[in-house]
């Protein structure tokens, strides 16, 4: 199922969501301007490679501490290709504005970044020996989706459902997001049962699971801001 848009109104301008979409796009465009070898080095330097997390603490290692900590933040602004970028930014566009509207700009940014870090930690835990760098904003966006699941479960989401034929259906958000989470969890579990899941590439399913669960929990703690409604909407 591919979400296309939702019907939840917002009452403020989602400046942080716009900023995040622009920032991710600009970083990706910069990455694409680099020579092919330089692109690979860029991803290995700023992407999250689980096997390198403990490198600075290994006996005799001269690796700087930023090797272990910085990628948990920078990796969420990198993407592997156009489809990866567009799909992530589209999901952020659909669900992010309403969470920003609820939390306010600053608290929304904090939640987004924390969600991305928690997602990266979850991915590292389940792929401890992997030498493959992980990139993408999907873990942070999964946190946004988890928050949306809690706040707006009955919101309607226009969804493309490819099943023999292509259907466009308005479905409750809890169905769309719940189905997505179950797929991520089952895929992560299946990947963990295979030897490839520990050293190979592919989709970081556990990052999605970790981010979504974080969003489910943190949105129950963070206070919503005082509503400021605009006339004419």
Q: Give pLDDT, residue 13.
A: 93
Instruction: Enter the tokens of residue 218.
Output: 């943190």
Complete DSSP assignment for 68-90: HHTHHHHGGG--SSHHHHHHHHH
81 in any annotated domain: yes
Q: Which residues contact 115 (CB under 8 A, 6 or more apart)?
A: 139, 140, 142, 143, 144, 146, 211, 214, 215, 218
Parts of the chain with a pLDDT under 70: 55-68, 194-202, 227-233
| Dihedral in degrees, nearest 10, Cα atoms 107, 112, 117, 118 | 90
Residue 202 lies in a domain: yes
Q: Is the dihedral of CA 174, 106, 84, 90 positive or negative?
A: positive
230 within a domain of the structure (yes/no): no
Residue 171: inside a domain: yes
Residue 190: its pLDDT value, please? 85
The total number of structural domains that make up the chain: 1
Q: Check residue 1 and give its pLDDT.
A: 83
Dump pLDDT digits (tens) for 51-100: 887 766 666 655 565 666 889 999 999 998 999 999 999 999 999 999 99
| Nearest residue to 208 (alpha-carbon basis) of 114, 137, 107, 130 | 137
> Which CATH number characterizes residue 174's domain?
1.20.1540.10
Q: What is the pLDDT of residue 127?
A: 86
Residue 223 domain flag: no
Structural domain of 44: 2-218
Q: Is residue 183 part of a domain?
A: yes
For residue 112 the two structure tokens come to 């987004």
């Amino acid at each position: 199922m591919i979400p296309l848009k939702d019907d939840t109104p917002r009452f403020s301008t989602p400046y942080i969501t716009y900023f995040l979409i622009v920032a991710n796009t600009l970083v990706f465009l910069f990455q694409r301007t680099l020579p092919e070898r330089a692109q690979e080095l860029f991803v290995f330097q700023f992407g999250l490679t689980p096997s390198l997390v403990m490198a600075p603490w290994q006996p005799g290692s001269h690796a700087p501490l930023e090797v272990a900590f910085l990628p948990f933040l920078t990796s969420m602004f990198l993407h592997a290709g156009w489809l990866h970028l567009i799909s992530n930014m589209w999901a952020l566009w659909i669900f992010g504005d309403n969470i920003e509207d609820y939390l306010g700009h600053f608290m929304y940014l904090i939640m987004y970044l924390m969600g991305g870090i928690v997602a990266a930690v979850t991915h590292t835990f389940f792929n401890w020996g992997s030498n493959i760098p992980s990139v993408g904003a999907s873990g942070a966006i999964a946190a946004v989706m988890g928050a949306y699941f809690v706040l707006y479960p009955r919101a309607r989401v226009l969804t493309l459902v490819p099943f023999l034929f292509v259907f466009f259906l308005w479905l409750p958000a809890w169905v769309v997001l719940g189905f997505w989470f179950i797929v991520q969890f089952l895929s992560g579990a299946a990947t963990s049962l295979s030897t490839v899941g520990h050293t190979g590439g592919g989709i970081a399913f556990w990052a999605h699971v970790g981010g979504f669960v974080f969003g489910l929990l943190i949105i129950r703690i963070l206070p919503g801001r005082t509503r400021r409604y605009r006339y004419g909407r």
